[in-house]
Structure 1
Amino acid sequence: MTSSQASFQAVAAALRQQTAQVGATTPAVRGSDWYRAVVDTVGTDGTVTTTDGVVALRDEAYQAPAVGDIIRVTVSSAGAAVALGRYAGATAPNGGWTSIPLLTGFTTPRAIFGPAEYRIITIAGSDRVELRGSVSCTTAVTTQTAFSPALDAAAWPPYARTWAVRRQTSADTKGVTAVEVSTAGVLQIHGLVSPNTTAWFALDGSYYDL
């Protein structure tokens, strides 16, 4: 092989390598793709800029963005980037159902309605506590009464929250009453004087935001 042939082959190899590198990093060549990125800045126009300089429009589900978020970015073949949302961190809610601790005078479940439980999940970037199941009152409740000790500190809201739940005062009498959670994570049920005392209540469909 002559020196000119060797030089030609070296140049050709270099061009092939350069072409491969450009194709791997150019959306128009490689097509659409996604990758993991870290947020460097948060824009006021619905975008975030990653540490590698990509400006991505936030997806509707990616709420409350913050610098340092580890996110999933998808890039179209035309180069348009969308931030799909953050990955769960080590301290993120795991969404597992946990039994609600009950005070003396309350038991669970009520008949067929399932045990009283709660979980912490993330909805659109915000943490939420969901509840389900049912609670029986050993003695009918006539006033606002705590039925649980404090939940885990992660479930304590910044303000007291209240919502309506189904209750039953007798076998054939059904109604609605209020459940409240304090800023210390204590759950309370409301009751009235006879004959509207609360004998049991359901928590299905209940939730409050943190």
Structure 2
Amino acid sequence: MTKSPHASARDLAWAVAQRAKRVGEQSAKVRGADWRTAIVTAVGTDGTVTADGLKWRRMDTYQAPLVGDVIAVSQSSSGSLLAWGRTAGAGDPVGAWTAIPLASGFTSTHTVFGPAQYRILTAYGGTRVELRGSVDCTSSVTAQTAWSSALPAAARPSVARTFLGRRNYSTDTKGVAVLEMATSGVMNVFGSASPSQTDWFALDGCHYDL
């Protein structure tokens, strides 16, 4: 059946309108300034990611991007495109403060600083473990000593991590304790010989990345 000139013109107008709509959806200048979420389909080596068919410049805080990330993106009226970072999902490793399982010879009774605890969270695109509270030594520590039982696999780093914590202080002892998180999930404290032995140490402000 041959279409009438009117029907052909109508179909052509519809096709042109649909084409213009698709072009507009891909053009930041047509869309104007806004923000939305998008799914990453490719990760560039130049600090960009691709999502919704467009290349977005990553913010410095959006580290370790992955294909499949659901990210927040924004665009300016001049056409600049920014990827702010991934949004949280139901499976993200963000947890509540949890008691650190202490090894024999250590307690968490130094109530001035609270109990020894850890939590897992997302920071700068990676997974981080934060610590707080304090640990008392039943006997003064004078050498490398494991002070915790193994933390769950989700809190264990890929390589050993070291960090500093506060410790008992006097004219004969320094107020800094060297701490280590092993890949086995066990944490160590490095004590030294008398009179610089460690009697207690605090974890506030301590963290390590997986």
Is TM (by shorter chain) over 0.5? yes
Q: Please list the CA deviations of residues 27-47 of structure 1 after superposition, one character each: whole Å capped at 9, or x if unmatched.
A: 556531112111111222222
> 1:170 touches 1:199 (CA, 8 Å); kept in 2?
no
Q: Which runs of 5+ in 1 are unaligned?
A: 1-6
Q: 1:31 corresponds to which residue? A: 32
> 1:103 touches 1:149 (CA, 8 Å); kept in 2?
yes
Q: 2:69 corresponds to which residue? A: 69
Q: Return the alpha-carbon distance in structure 1 between the equivalents of residues 209 and 29 of structure 2.
A: 43
Q: 2:194 corresponds to which residue? A: 194
- Paired residue type of 1:102: L
**Paired positions, count:** 196
> 1:167 touches 1:198 (CA, 8 Å); kept in 2?
yes
Q: TM-score, normalised by structure 1?
A: 0.80
Instruction: Using the TM superposition, give the Cα deviation of residue 175 of structure 1 relative to its aligned residue in structure 2, in angstroms.
Output: 2.6
Q: 2:164 corresponds to which residue? A: 164
Q: Return the alpha-carbon distance in structure 1 between the equivalents of residues 101 and 91 of structure 2.
A: 23
Identity of aligned pairs, percent? 55
> 1:178 touches 1:189 (CA, 8 Å); kept in 2?
yes
2:154 counterpart SS class: helix
Q: 1:60 corresponds to which residue? A: 60
Q: Which range moved further: 91-100 or 183-192?
A: 91-100
- Paired residue type of 2:149: P
Q: TM-score, normalised by structure 2?
A: 0.80
Q: 2:88 corresponds to which residue? A: 88
> 1:163 touches 1:179 (CA, 8 Å); kept in 2?
yes
1:64 counterpart SS class: coil
Change (3 A) 1:55 1:30: closer
Q: Return the alpha-carbon distance in structure 1 between the equivalents of residues 130 and 42 of structure 2.
A: 32
Q: Return the alpha-carbon distance in structure 2 between the equivalents of residues 151 and 62 of structure 1.
A: 28
Q: Return the alpha-carbon distance in structure 1 between the equivalents of residues 189 and 174 of structure 2.
A: 15
1:154 counterpart SS class: helix
1:66 counterpart SS class: coil
Instruction: Using the TM superposition, give the Cα deviation of residue 93 of structure 1 relative to its aligned residue in structure 2, in angstroms.
Output: 1.8
Instruction: Using the TM superposition, give the Cα deviation of residue 142 of structure 1 relative to its aligned residue in structure 2, in angstroms.
Output: 2.1
Q: 2:114 corresponds to which residue? A: 114
